[in-house]
Amino acid sequence: MATVVLGAIWGDEGKGKLVDILCDSVDICARCQGGNNAGHTIVANGVTYDFHILPSGLVNPRCINLIGSGCVVHIPSFFQELENVQKKGLDTTERIFISDRAHIVFDLHQLVDGLEEIQLGAQNIGTTRKGIGPSYSTKASRSGVRMYELFNWPEFEKKLRVLADGYKRRFGDLLVYDVEEELAKYKTYAETLRSYVIDAVVFMSDAQKSNARILVEGANALMLDIDYGTYPYVTSSNTGIGGVLTGLAISPMKLKNIIGVVKAYTTRVGAGPFVTEQLNEIGEHLQSVGKEWGVTTGRKRRCGWLDLVVLKYSTAVNCYTSLNITKLDILDGIAEIKVAVAYTLDGVELESFPADLSLLERVEPVYKTFPGWVGETTANITNYADLPKAAREYVEFVEEFSGVPVEYVGVGPARTHMLKRGRAAGKA
């Protein structure tokens, strides 16, 4: 059976820590979509690891890890990240594999990513410039290059040259790129990568037939989904439950748990509407105390109150069986805490989260205000019952409003700072 961990709002929720905890009891940890634009930090046994394209299951020495068919992989970054975790003592031998159907992100894609952002000017998306969008674009236009093609050198060389020529015609002298240099790199990768690339359809089929315990690690989050997010301010893959099924060829009948991870407040990186954003001392508190800057880019995150309208919409799309609220401790010291429970437009309450961004830019949030727990702390508590009463009421309101049980509550960076409730705590 499989457990899926998905970001519920705009990403950066701390999915990695939950994945790290759950990895102790699984056989396989798999990434289903995205590339090294994702990023999270895990602290295990006093060692800090930064993951981008590699699955977090590498921290568990008994776990096999897969980068699935729905992913796009920048091979130089893959090897650099692998080297970094190996230097910190992780043995990755025969524990990390890449689907032969995953697409390659070239340096060429990264250069194009930057040029496309410049072209958009003030309307830029705010991408990580890791080449993810252009790689998924070439995938959709059927001009991309898959992993297996690297092992057929004449065909690989031909396809990269055609890709480079097409971009050169589009951007002219603005594109400063040497196709010979990139080809020389991949000539080497054709040998060093071979042992990592497998037929992931067979791998996943065998795993399901043997009833292997599978953990799926989603990247980004639902509101960055190419179909269900705040388009066009999204990533280029399906970050929701649909991307799990297509990106891994896993049976929907095998999905036992779908866990949505959401911060106790809301953050967003890059451009796009953000109804509950706080451009004041509250936003500054959340940003500074919460250390809200990206693992991948180092960019500061925009911060605001928890938006339950978004969470309810996310739940409707992803069908969560439980929630993990993270970073509750960052709300320590705030006298009054707000959550958005509805949107109004020209005084009329909207029925749901709108697809039309021109409407979204005009809505007003309806807030419910909670008393904070000033003078008390949630930080580093190890038992849910020991949380301040006001903090528990906050968590339980999220559960009631969303209709999804909150089974995990994060109050600090370490594994021991993940509190368990309900089924997660062994209670019916």
* Catalytic (active-site) positions: 12, 40
Q: What angle do CA 152, 153, 156 make, to 5 degrees?
A: 85
- Buried b / exposed e along 390-404 (16+ C-beta atoms within 10 A): bbbebbebbbeebeb
Counting Cα atoms < 13 Å in the Cβ hemisphere of 389 gives 0
CA distance 303 to 264: 11
- Of all helices (H) and strands (E), which one includes residue 260? strand 255-263
Omega prior to 232 cis, within 30 of 0:
yes
CA distance 165 to 167: 6
| Neighbouring-strand partners of residue 340 | 307, 367
Question: Mind giving me the DSSP string for 110-162?
Answer: HHHHHHHHHHHGGG------SSHHHHHHHHHTT---BGGGGGSHHHHHHHHHH
Q: How many residues does the chain have?
A: 428
- Give the type of residue at 159: K
Question: Mind giving me the DSSP string for 374-399?
Answer: TT---TT---GGGS-HHHHHHHHHHH
- Give the type of residue at 56: S
> Nearest-CA neighbor of 214 among 238, 253, 245, 250?
250
